[in-house]
Amino acid sequence: MIRAFIAVTLAPSVGEEIAKIQSLLKEPQGDIRWTRIDGMHLTLKFLGDIAHSQVEQILVGLRNALDNHLSFHVQAHGIGAFPNLNRPKVLWAGLSGEGLAGLQEQVESALVRLDFPREERGFTPHLTLGRVRSLRGWEQVLAVIERYERVQFGESVVDHVTLYQSTLRPDGAVYSPLGTVLLQKA
């Protein structure tokens, strides 16, 4: 079995800007497991465990669903937390862009046709910066967040969607592409 998800990666320049702020957030040494910049992505659909034999079927379904979808721009900006800054579990950088919701819905619909259950939670486009393990040092981390909560990380073109394998390791997950679907040039 393969632990899999469908995601979008952003331009390296966005990751470089996020890395600058992430290093400032690390200074207070809060109890947070930080996401590696090279693994940062926007998850469109988490699939869970799939069989090797399903990979090609999923890629064909995505190609059919996204055949006419145009590439678009997204902006990365702001820092926040799920469920909120008072009870943080996940620190994130926000994303916005005209085509994001439509792309996610097309991916969701394609996977429903392949018998994957529809995601019940609403889609909130974000990049995970880190996972909060406890509130130790949180007040100091929060002070940094408040200084940079409206920061701009830059813009990126979304021109493809990738099916990834996620391998969990003690030092963090490693993501390996299983296949990519290109979007039409806008």
Largest CA distance in the chain: 48
Instruction: Quote the domain boundaries for residue 59.
Output: 2-182
Specify the CATH number for the domain of residue 41: 3.90.1140.10
Buried-exposed string 170-186: b where 16+ CB fall within 10 A, e elsewhere: eeeeebeebbebebeee
Amino acid at the residue 99: G
pLDDT tens for residues 108-124?
999 999 999 999 989 99
pLDDT of residue 168: 85
| Matching residue, tokens 């909560």 | 149
As a whole number of angstroms, the distance between CA 7 and CA 24 comes to 27
| Half-sphere exposure for 185 (CA within 13 Å, toward CB) | 0
pLDDT tens for residues 76-109?
999 999 999 999 999 999 999 999 999 999 999 9
- DSSP-derived 3-state class of residue 156: strand
Tokens of 20: 């600058």
Average the pLDDT over 141-155 and give the result: 95
As a whole number of angstroms, the distance between CA 102 and CA 12 comes to 24
pLDDT of residue 173: 82
Count the helix, strand and coil residues of the chain and give each as a percent rounded to the nearest 5. Answer: 30, 40, 30
pLDDT tens for residues 3-49?
999 999 999 999 999 999 999 999 999 999 999 998 899 999 999 99
Query: What residues pair up with 93 in beta bridges, in sequence order?
Result: 79, 127
pLDDT of residue 141: 96
pLDDT tens for residues 167-183?
988 877 889 999 999 99
| Total domains, the chain | 1
